[in-house]
Amino acid sequence: MAWPPAGKHTPVSADLDNAPPVSHTVTLIPGDGTGPELVEATRRVLEATGVGFEWDEHPAGEDVYAEEGTPFPDRTLDSIKRNTVGIKGPTTTPVGSGFRSVNVLLRKELDLYECIRPCKAYEGVRTRFPETDFVIIRENTEDLYAGIEFERGSAEVEKLRTFLADELDSPTRENSGISIKPISVFCSERIVEAAFDYAKKYGRKKVTAAHKANIMKFSDGLFLEVAREVAGRHPEIEFEDRIIDNLCNQLVSRPEEYDVVVLPNLYGDIVSDLGAGMIGGLGLAPGGNIGTEAAMFEATHGSAPKYKGQNKANPTALMLSGVLMLRHLDELEAADRLEAAIAEVIRKGEKVTYDLKPTRDDPSAVGTSQFADAVIEEMSS
Ligand code: NAD
């Protein structure tokens, strides 16, 4: 079996007699690929903050798919619904065939509509953009990700093309595939409100809404119109909008001017990777997916299967996702302490993984687990 049986576990790395009282029961999903190693490292540093956790551990991803024929068993979903907070390792999505993305399922089942991706360049990382410190708030549920797609040559696409041509005077070329981009007032309003809430809670000064309203007047145009309305309710926070291509240009020329950036789903996805590149790479980019009923914290990166079981991948992105989780749980002091310890290990640059060294084959690079040891040591010093 790839992972111990599901169920509740008290902290493994704590001295049980002196373990702090349980303050939070959290669903823990090891995932697959490098996920279990990264989750284990993250669990250890979270426990080292002194916050009392009970881990309700359940599987998701390709390992459990191989054993049970589903990548996302009901018990895992039930656990998140019950605990309302979870932390998750990455899960592999097979290309072309096999099962659907666990992440898409999760977002859909739990309506995790808000994706938070802080992009902060810590001192000591190799980046051309050391001033970067902005937060992406990405809409997670609609847009071209809604899954409303019609395959070239299918009866459905031909029906749609005929309707477009005959009824709406909007012909399309033969042999077209069609993906639909719905943007609603409801989803635009709640994501922009979430961006302003975030700005207020964390002392940010400005919200920038990104769009392509000059071209897509009725989808992105609607997003922009709603964003302006919402901004009117929060006069204490500065608001501006940027066309998405201009935003990309500006982010890499004047990153220090950006604070909270709110985007529809697809632009949010793309700009998140841009942001990850600006802060030193995928190994450093954390994330959280938040809804009204539950919140799930996970790194931006995938399962990096080529490093599976090698104790090599960088756990920073998942640890920083753990920092976001601590803040979500109102454990602000523990969150600050953990973030400061991670930042200090990176700044010193000694006990860091291969991707944070000047060259990828640097023999002084440490493993996933030793990076966690260094963070724990830093917290206790
Ligand atoms: P990936 O993020 O797994 O890896 C791309 C490359 O980035 C790796 O080869 C590695 O060089 C580097 N990298 C990623 N994470 C790293 C880390 N923690 N430390 C050091 N280097 C790291 O992307 P991929 O190869 O495109 O995807 C692999 C699988 O993960 C796919 O099946 C994909 O669908 C899935 N995926 C899952 C999630 C998720 O679970 N949230 C997110 C993205 C992709």
Tens-digit pLDDT profile for residues 78-125? 999 999 999 999 999 877 667 778 988 898 889 999 999 999 999 999
The helix (run of H) or strand (run of E) holding residue 260 is: strand 260-263
Residue 298, ligand 1, Cβ within 6 A: yes
- DSSP-derived letter for residue 34 is T
* Collapsed DSSP state (helix, strand, coil) of residue 16: helix
Q: d(Cα 198, Cα 229) in Å, to the nearest integer?
A: 17
Identify the band that residue 345 occupies on the pLDDT scale cut at 50, 70 and 90. very high
- Other Cβ atoms within 10 Å of 81 Cβ, number: 14
Q: Is the pTM of this model over 0.85?
A: yes
Minimal-distance CA residue to ligand 1 atom 27: 302
Q: Which atom of ligand 1 is nearest to the CA of 315?
A: 18
Tens-digit pLDDT profile for residues 183-208: 999 999 999 999 999 999 999 999 99
Q: What is the DSSP string of 164-176?
A: HHHHHS----SS-
- Evaluate whether 223 touches 188 at the Cβ level (below 8 Å): yes
Among 140, 303, 357, 360, name the best residue to mutate to test ligand 1's pocket (greatest count of ligand atoms within 8 A of Cβ).
303
* 215, pLDDT greater than 50: yes
The first and second tokens of residue 210, run together, are 């990104």
Quick one: average pLDDT of 56-81?
95
